[in-house]
Amino acid sequence: MGARTKARKRALDVLFEADQREVDAGTLLADRVVEPGTEAALPQYTVEIVEGVLEHRERIDEILSTYSHGWTIERMPSVDRALLRIGTWEMLFNDDVPDVVAIDEAVDLTRGLSTDESPDFVNGLLGRILSLKPTLLA
């Protein structure tokens, strides 16, 4: 597992835990960030993901709600919701990650952590967002 994949997984852990415990993800992130170089330290990219998702969460959730036919944000499994937020943030707000990589990583993590139907759902929704990216960023 590559460094960025591990960082995404750790970001998922933070976002998922905050969602499940109904606590602020920024506060939880601050609690998890420890001295760099220690075993428990979060990778810098994990911090970037969580902070980026939080910064753009309103817009990300608006996009997910608009294009997830028949699914509200609240109805989505928590893992799927967190991975969709991460994937959407990477595609729309992080120029360092190629769009197809963001989608592939989200689908791969979904495949290992969620329901049997979730990878297709995540792939389809992120693919739809990718196809609309120019208009979403306008």
CB-CB contact of 32 with 12 (8 Å):
no
- Give the model confidence (pLDDT) of 48-81 as tens digits: 999 999 999 999 999 999 999 888 899 999 999 9
Phi and psi (nearest 5°) for 50?
-60, -45
Best CA proximity match to 91, nearest among 77, 112, 73, 105 = 105
DSSP labels, the chain = --HHHHHHHHHHHHHHHHHHHT--HHHHHHHH---TTSTTPPPHHHHHHHHHHHHHHHHHHHHHHHHSTT--TTTS-HHHHHHHHHHHHHHHH-TTS-HHHHHHHHHHHHHHHS-SSHHHHHHHHHHHHHHTHHHH--
The whole-model pTM stands at 0.92
- Please tell me the least confidently modeled range out of 5-9, 10-14, 32-36, 108-112: 32-36
**Can you give the pLDDT at residue 121?**
95
Q: Which two tokens stand for residue 35?
A: 């001295």
CATH topology of domain 3-136: N-utilizing Substance Protein B Homolog; Chain A (1.10.940)
CB-CB contact of 41 with 33 (8 Å):
yes
Q: Give dist(CA 121, CA 124) in Å, integer.
A: 5
Q: Which two tokens stand for residue 12?
A: 């998922």
**Can you give the pLDDT at residue 35?**
52
Q: Give dist(CA 4, CA 57) in Å, integer.
A: 21
At what angle are helices 25-32 and 44-67 packed, to 10 degrees?
A: 160
